[in-house]
Amino acid sequence: MTTPSIDAQVRLDTHPSHPSAVTATLTGTQHRTAHALLTTHGFEPVNEHTLMLARIDHEEPYWAQQTAQKLADEEGVTVEIRPRLRAAIDEEWTWANYPMHWCTRQEIREVSHQANQLYEDIRSGRLVIHAHAEDGGGPPSRSVRTGAARASTSTGRITCGRSPAPSTPRPRPSPPSNASTARPCGPAPHPRPKRSSRPPKPALP
């Protein structure tokens, strides 16, 4: 059965100054419907007609494509993917020196998606880290963080290696120049990871 179309058009493109981030520009008399649908897929509003997708794992092109397909196939929204974003979607890359080297590309993407969800839950206040203590005696080797979700009484425990010194947070990408400014929405994505390459040559004695 064909999904009936609605009068809403979405144009997806890369952010002008942060290539891994993705912008969505909306037109049509039913653009508010598309606006609401995009927010359920991780896009954050800049204004009534513009949204932005920025992730800590630099996988915005992949998830933008997944969103575009769902909007078109399931919701009847007309979606245009601009050439720069299409090139980013088609680009094959992987993390250099990825610690779980046995994972496939799709498995790496699933792990990074879970990390991004955890980050967004903390940033939005849905998950609150309310305790931090060393685990075990002697020199500290592990740290334990206990988190509680605001929406429920459930708690979780995360055990990890000694935390590095906190770094200064980076601002999120600014809205495109043709959009009005809105509230900041977190740190900007770091530069996209480089393609895997041959190991560096050993230093000469």
Q: Are residues 19 and 66 in the same domain?
A: yes
Residue 97 pLDDT greater than 80, yes or no: no
Question: Which of the two residues, 41 and 162, has the higher pLDDT score?
Answer: 41
Is the residue at 24 inside a domain? yes
Is the residue at 135 inside a domain? yes
Q: Summarize pLDDT for 165-199 with one digit per residue, the tens.
A: 444 444 555 555 554 444 334 444 444 544 444 44
Is the residue at 200 inside a domain? no
CATH of the domain at 50: 3.30.70
Which of 35, 34, 41, 43 has its CA nearest to residue 172?
43
Residue 157 pLDDT greater than 70, yes or no: no
Token match 């879970």: residue? 114
Facing residues of 152 across strands? Answer: none
Residue 110 pLDDT greater than 50, yes or no: yes
Question: Which of the two residues, 14 and 186, has the higher pLDDT score?
Answer: 14
Is the residue at 48 inside a domain? yes
Which of 190, 187, 179 has its CA nearest to residue 45?
179
| Lowest-pLDDT choice from 80-89, 93-102, 159-168 | 159-168
Question: Which of the two residues, 65 and 5, has the higher pLDDT score?
Answer: 65
Indicate the number of domains in the chain: 2
- pLDDT class of 117 with cuts at 50, 70, 90: confident
Which range in 83-87, 110-114, 151-155 is most confidently predicted, on average pLDDT? 83-87
Which range in 6-15, 120-129, 174-183 is most confidently predicted, on average pLDDT? 6-15
Q: Summarize pLDDT for 42-76 with one digit per residue, the tens.
A: 999 999 999 999 998 889 999 999 999 999 999 99
Q: Are residues 82 and 112 in the same domain?
A: no
How far is 103 from 61, CA to CA, in rounded Å?
A: 21
Which of 107, 128, 102, 123 has its CA nearest to residue 56?
123
How far is 63 from 95, CA to CA, in rounded Å?
A: 17
**In the prediction, which pLDDT does 167 show?**
42
The contacts of residue 97 (CB under 8 Å, 6+ apart) are none
Q: Are residues 86 and 111 in the same domain?
A: no
Last residue of a domain, one of 90, 113, 140: 90
- pLDDT class of 119 with cuts at 50, 70, 90: confident
| Domain span including residue 17 | 9-90
Question: Which of the two residues, 90 and 155, has the higher pLDDT score?
Answer: 90
Helix (H) or strand (E) holding 132: strand 127-134
Strands, E assignment, 3-103: 9-14, 22-27, 44-47, 50-53, 78-81
Is the residue at 77 inside a domain? yes
Residue 82 pLDDT greater than 50, yes or no: yes
Report pTM. 0.62
Q: Are residues 51 and 17 in the same domain?
A: yes
Q: Are residues 66 and 112 in the same domain?
A: no
**Which whole-number Å values give the CA distances from 135 to 83, 86, 155, 163, in the listed order?**
51, 47, 18, 13
**In the prediction, which pLDDT does 145 show?**
56
